[in-house]
Structure 1
Amino acid sequence: MLLLRVRKMYNFERREYIMNFELIPIKLIDESTILTRDAHDNIEELAKNISEIGLLQPITVKKLQNGNYRIILGARRYKAVKLLKKTHIPANISNTEDETEIYLQQLAENMERENFSPIEEAKLFYKLTTDPVFHKSELYISQKIGKNERYIKRKLELLKFGKDVQEIIHAEKEILPNKLNEEQALSLKKVDIIFKDKLALKAASEQVSVNDLKRAAQVYTSKELDDESKFTLLALPFHDIVETWSILEEKKIEKQRFADKPRLANATTLPSHKEDHVVLPTVFTEIEVLLKSLISSIPSHRSIHLTTIYSYENIPIDRKQDFLKLIDGLVTNLQAHLIEWRKIKDIVKTPIRLVDTSKQK
């Protein structure tokens, strides 16, 4: 088909031309070559603007061997014009054969969009680093787009979340209900994959701050808690996870205090001399240290709200048995502690005094 070459850009309503371009039939544009397909793009608003003031910039395309066209720049403009049911669109025809250069142009255009999501951007970076057509380093990309390598790495970290989490990551800085901004998500980047997604979705539903997410990440990377305890915490309100972080921090400080001032259990403290203003450290026995450690690892009891309890109804059938096993394990463990410490309490209240038989002879 012979294309009309004109000197001005086209205004659909006024039928005026402003700059050099070619009018190409919309039906010849291959949509499968469009780089991104963001469902949240406000194409309707763009179409309205084009209808009122015209297309301010032609799209850029490359002609394919089959006679169709591949969009290099202007996918949103193309969608908007198509929505207006126009048959032709103004386009600049590119002759470049460098696929990397084409891709970088598309990437640059997308990065200028206000609603360009971090996940979309991450996927484009990922393709540049892994696709055999490009296989570019993070350093190369950073130099081409004017960002540092850390910027690229942070975006790629987002792709380590599952699909459900990726879908709720947005570009805004505000903390929104059932959404995660980039900072919130990246706070969990060091958390094991078996907890990361669950923790992220929980944080989104409870609108958790970045600082509390960083504390939660420390809890879930801590070796002080086993996996069973970490799974149990996921069923509790997020403030319980933060409270657990506080307990672990106190425990860490306590350990450091013992490391800085090593003491022997059961040792006898020397009396302090007030005139010298010396205060000697208290020496604890093994049983005291054990009790303090246990208390610091168990969060204070808080009544669980009925809405939280009845959320069990949303547990998939294949996970309910595991959930009940976790409860049984928790109850059994707590009962064992209770029985043992009751015995210790009885012994302390009614101590058995050892008799020195040597004096009876």
Structure 2
Amino acid sequence: MSHTPIDLRSDTVTLPTPAMREAMMAAELGDDTVGEDPTVNRLEARMAEMFGMEAAVYACSGTQSNQMGVWSHCTAGDEMLIEKLSHIGSYEGGAPAVLSGVSVRTIEGEFGRLDVEHLEGILRPIDEHFSPTRVLSLENSTNLGGGRTYPLDQLQRVGAWAHEHGLKVHLDGARLFNACVARGYTPADVGRYVDTISVCFSKGLGCPMGSVLVGSQEVVTRARRARKLFGGALRQAGIVAGAALYAIDHHIDRLAEDHEHARLFAAEIDHIDGISADPESVETNLVFFELDPKCGAAHTLQSRLGENGVRLYSVGQHRLRACTHLNASREDVLKAAEIMREVVRQLPADVDGAVHNGYP
């Protein structure tokens, strides 16, 4: 097609704004591997202060910062607990086992979230037959859980339970700023109840790359060692850290627009015969919806939409996901819904239920 596609696959497709590019060009640079990049140092100090933590370390990606957290809390042979839909278990290539020698035990929660009721009785006795459980990992906001967020009191309960049982709490906060905006709490509010948090800059904040891990000085020192082992130590990283500093000042509050657009999109497509969406369940910028089996498979709808200029992902046999972001306007989501209405109307039944995609 000749026009620019409406890309709702993920907020990772966002491009730096002109102002962000200017901030990147103006960033002071140095060698970050030896701690001499002033822009990276400012970013790390800013993030540590924002989350009420002692220190922070810049990383290349959210997967890397998550795994730096795992490595820093555990030794080979340990076990970590995760909700069964979590990104660490679904989309990080088995990294806890590969990089840290840590096994993962999954727990079924609700919409990707865990509460104390899901955790009672889950811990095994201290015995040579069992891997020692060291970490409980949470995700806020959730991905496969539907973009749901944790109420602060739930985070407090779960964090207290973990600490009472001698576990560290790691939070995968790839879209934590979305949760903060949706719930009205601050990063420091969240930081009170967990030990480490990974935060991604390349999703809703619109940066080209980057993440940080925040925590105690001791843990962050270990995490720097992990970063080096994982090949993530950078040199003049201030160019991309400058983008993150700009985003912190200019792109957090505007996440509310993405949430509004997601609810609008869900409301529009919910009126399409053959599509089931629940606008009331949309808390952040992710919209999960179901395709009636009589209309065929989700991947077929994904393909047909792509041919008509709308990109999104199938994440199940009859389930799809759309993600709003700063490069998708209100007009874009309305147009995407209009195109979907016409495509679904013409969609032939397709018994092939293969899942072709899933995405962070």
- TM-score normalised by structure 1 residue count: 0.23
Structure with the larger helix share: 1
Greater RCO, CA 8 A, separation 6+: 2
Which protein shows a greater Rg? 1
TM-score for both structures, normalised by structure 2 = 0.23
